[in-house]
Amino acid sequence: MKRATIRAALVLVFFVAGCGRHAATIDGGGTPVQDSGTGGFSLRLTGVDKGNFVSARMRIQSLQVTSGGTVLANAPHTPEVDLAEMGQAYLLASFQPPAGVDDVEFAVSFEKGMVATETASFSVDSRCQTLHLAGKVSKIAERKHAVIQLDVARSFVPSSAGLMLVPHFQLVY
Amino acid sequence: MKKSTIAAAAAAIALSGAASAHEFACEKTVDGAVVRVVEHYPATLQFKVVLTNTHPDDKSTALAVRDEVMTALGASFTPVPFTLEVGQSAEFSASITVQDQAGCLRLSEAAACGTGAAGAFQVVFDGGVAQCAARLVCLRDDAARGGGKEERR
């Protein structure tokens, strides 16, 4: 009995610790990289701190993963995300960096979006708000993924025409 | 009792594994606002970034910082790498006076549509990247004077 309890605890540790700082549900219709058999990495997008928003649906216009000018992924795996769904980490891309490279560059742009609170909904002006960032391959390799954590409450800012996307995020490994 | 002890230990291990050695948060503003609507020209715009070490009990080291707009405006960033103690913040600032909507738009274009993380401030550290941003809305000169239909970009 005691052995079973310890085993259960270790299993719990394995699953929770394995998720690191971003314990999120794998979603987006794609196969998680660790199960893909390609040995590749994944880039995911999740919302954190949704504030008063009950939904934050954004369409992904484009996605590109590059390394030293080589394109590793060139289309979003998940075309639409709801960033107010806390704990959902949407798969944006699977990729395999070439041997010997230190960094990969990510570019994610949004087409349009609609966000809602309990009482109102707003269109989102996301023009030109491309997320450009770079990730360390050695760090991504630790868990086979990089996760963009978009701060929902801070990133949708009121303007006269609705809400503006002003991206505040963290990239974690 | 033993079961709860094991569970607590499991949780502790999980949380310790989740901790990151370096954590940052930042806030970027133009004249104190995340979205700055420029209605009158000339306008002097004050860009400001506050970078804070948010790790609960350890210093955090910034390996690189990027802000193309503020760099172009002559902002002086502390030579990297640099380290902030627990709760410590660093401030960076730059200002520019735009004479008309065209000047504002040039800045706004650079901020919103340029290549790279143009409108944003990014700090790169061992545990990842943190970004904060601000946006400009440049009203037409005649709209700003009340002489025409307002148009926002």
Q: Which domains does chain B have, with CATH numbers?
A: 22-144 (2.60.40)
Domain boundaries, chain A: 25-172
What is residue A17's predicted lDDT score, i.e. its pLDDT?
A: 39
Is the pLDDT at B139 greater than 80? The verdict is yes
From B109's Cα to the closest Cα of chain A, the distance in A is 9
Confidence band of B117 (pLDDT split at 50, 70, 90): very low
B20 inside 8 A of chain A by CB: yes
Are B120 and A167 within 8 A, CB to CB? yes
Is the pLDDT at B151 greater than 50? The verdict is no
Are A5 and B112 within 8 A, CB to CB? no
Length of chain A, please?
173
Report residue B14 CA to chain centroid gap.
31
A1 inside 8 A of chain B by CB: no
Is the pLDDT at B67 greater than 60? The verdict is yes
CA nearest to B13 within chain A: A13
Is the pLDDT at B118 greater than 90? The verdict is no
Decide the pairing of beta strands B82-84 and B60-66: antiparallel
What is residue A117's predicted lDDT score, i.e. its pLDDT?
A: 96
**For residues B61-88, average pLDDT:** 92
**For residues B118-141, average pLDDT:** 89
Of A13, A133, A166, which is closest to B129 when you measure between CB atoms?
A133
Q: String of b and e for B89-102 (b: at least 16 CB within 10 Å)?
A: ebebebebebeebe
What is residue A110's predicted lDDT score, i.e. its pLDDT?
A: 94
ipTM > 0.90 for the complex: no
> CA B147 to CA B47: how far, in whole Å?
29
Task: Say which residue, B6 or B132, is predicted with more confidence.
Answer: B132
Report residue A157 CA to chain centroid gap.
20
Q: What is the pLDDT along chain A (173 residues), one digit of tens a residue?
A: 455 555 544 444 433 333 334 445 554 444 333 333 344 999 999 999 999 999 999 999 999 999 989 999 999 999 999 999 999 999 999 999 999 999 999 999 999 899 999 999 999 988 878 899 999 999 999 999 999 999 999 999 998 778 999 999 999 99
Of B14, B34, B129, which is closest to A170 when you measure between CB atoms?
B129
